[in-house]
């Protein structure tokens, strides 16, 4: 709202994580899906099933409009949340941007996640004019 965009809607993502067990749930309001790194498999997997309605689109919204996806972060796993500005770039579709992000995230997984969120965010092709934010949660 502060930015004065004419669209009148916003996206959001919410993650809840039990730090002792690693169990998590993710809810989304039109936001790009969270991605779960499974250390035992050595790969990233989108967290599917959490695809709710954009905020500001419906006159009234209820919890049923925002289904949650559930999973478990095992030791060495990570959960990656990011804004669309990280995967958007002129001339590229979102799937290409996501593929690029996950390629960079693979390198971070191989060398260690410490400081990776900042590096991934800085490497976004959208430049300084788009929203770019990353939250990277790593279970050691």
What residue spans define the domains of the chain? 12-138
Phi, psi values for residue 73, rounded to 5°: -90, 115
Task: Give pLDDT tens digits for 30-64.
Answer: 889 999 999 999 999 999 988 888 887 777 878 78
Domain 12-138 has CATH 3.40.980.10: no
pLDDT class of 97 with cuts at 50, 70, 90: confident
Q: Which residue has the higher pLDDT, 91 or 79?
A: 79
Q: Torsion angle of alpha carbons 56, 53, 13, 134, nearest 10°? A: -90
- pLDDT grade, residue 88 (50/70/90)? confident
Mean pLDDT is highest, among 48-62, 96-110, 121-135, for 96-110
Which pLDDT score is estimated for 4? 66
Dihedral in degrees, nearest 10, Cα atoms 111, 115, 117, 121: -100
């Amino acid at each position: 709202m502060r930015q004065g965009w004419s669209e009148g809607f916003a996206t959001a993502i919410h993650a809840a994580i039990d730090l002792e067990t690693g169990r998590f749930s993710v809810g989304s309001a039109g936001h790009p899906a969270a991605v779960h790194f499974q250390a035992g498999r050595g790969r990233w997997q989108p967290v599917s099933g959490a695809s709710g309605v954009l905020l500001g689109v419906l006159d009234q919204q209820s919890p049923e409009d925002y289904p949650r996806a559930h999973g478990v972060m095992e030791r060495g796993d990570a959960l990656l949340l990011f804004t669309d500005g990280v995967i958007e770039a002129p001339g590229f579709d979102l799937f290409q941007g996501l593929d690029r992000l996950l390629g960079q995230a693979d390198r971070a997984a191989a060398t260690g996640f410490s400081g990776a969120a900042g590096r991934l965010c800085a490497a976004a092709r959208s430049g300084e004019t788009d929203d770019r934010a990353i939250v990277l949660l790593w279970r050691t």
